[in-house]
Chains A and B, each alone.
Chain A
Amino acid sequence: EAEVAQSPRYKITEKSQAVAFWCDPISGHATLYWYRQILGQGPELLVQFQDESVVDDSQLPKDRFSAERLKGVDSTLKIQPAELGDSAMYLCASSSAGNNQPQHFGDGTRLSIL
């Protein structure tokens, strides 16, 4: 059902390690979003890109998280070092630019920090 590609689907790692997530949005979608979702809650926006530029990263913990979308297509989200509290689902979504556009989600990466 998902048309946005994300990998890996699952990641288990120990705290203080580095972890990276990859997202390939729907072709032609200029806007790309990274969300974090804790079980039982709604998604929380971490970073929003318009093409290769960051539009909003106000909720991204910049001391340990980084995100890039170098050519305005696929994107990588990195955590270094990972902490126990980072365990969550990380979702990528994309949309066409402009108002009243739905977001299309990938199936996410389930991250577990031991």
Chain B
Amino acid sequence: SQQGEEDPQALSIQEGENATMNCSYKTSINNLQWYRQNSGRGLVHLILIRSNEREKHSGRLRVTLDTSKKSSSLLITASRAADTASYFCATDAEDSNYQLIWGAGTKLIIKP
């Protein structure tokens, strides 16, 4: 079953612009994670935010978490062509035995 829902499903922006993707989930969580997947490759872990954190930064990435709204956002600043990929959120639910429940992803295209 898929808990996370990413929004939008697809996003196309010009290089240098900021990209924002959103994720909503349904149950209480231990943490929420964002992953990137280049076409035909495996997923790469980007950032993990714990349920007691509200914001986290890593390089050009900024993640926010609002547990009252059960939602998270991923902001990529100053986008580059190499950021073209699909981005997935995954939640580690409190009773999940360390399993991640995945959304369907946002397909991001950066136009040069």
Contacts and interface: CB of A to CB of B under 8 A. Distances in A.
Interface in B71-91: 88, 90
Interface stretch (A12-20, A37-45, A78-86): A37-45
Given A99-B31, A104-B45, A42 B97 contact: no
Interface string B35-74: 0000011111100101000000000000000000000000
A1 interface: yes
B28 interface: no
Nearest to A6: B42
A105 interface: yes
A107 B42 contact: yes
Interface string A1-31: 1101010000000000000000000000001
A15 B5 CA distance: 33
A48 B97 contact: yes
Contacts of B50: 100
B92 A42 contact: no
A8 to B, nearest CB: 14
Contacts of B33: 102-103
B99 A48 contact: yes
A40 to B, nearest CB: 7
A103 B48 CA distance: 11
Contacts of A100: 30-31, 48, 50, 92
Interface of A: 1-2, 4, 6, 31, 33, 40-45, 48, 55-56, 91, 93, 95, 97-108, 110
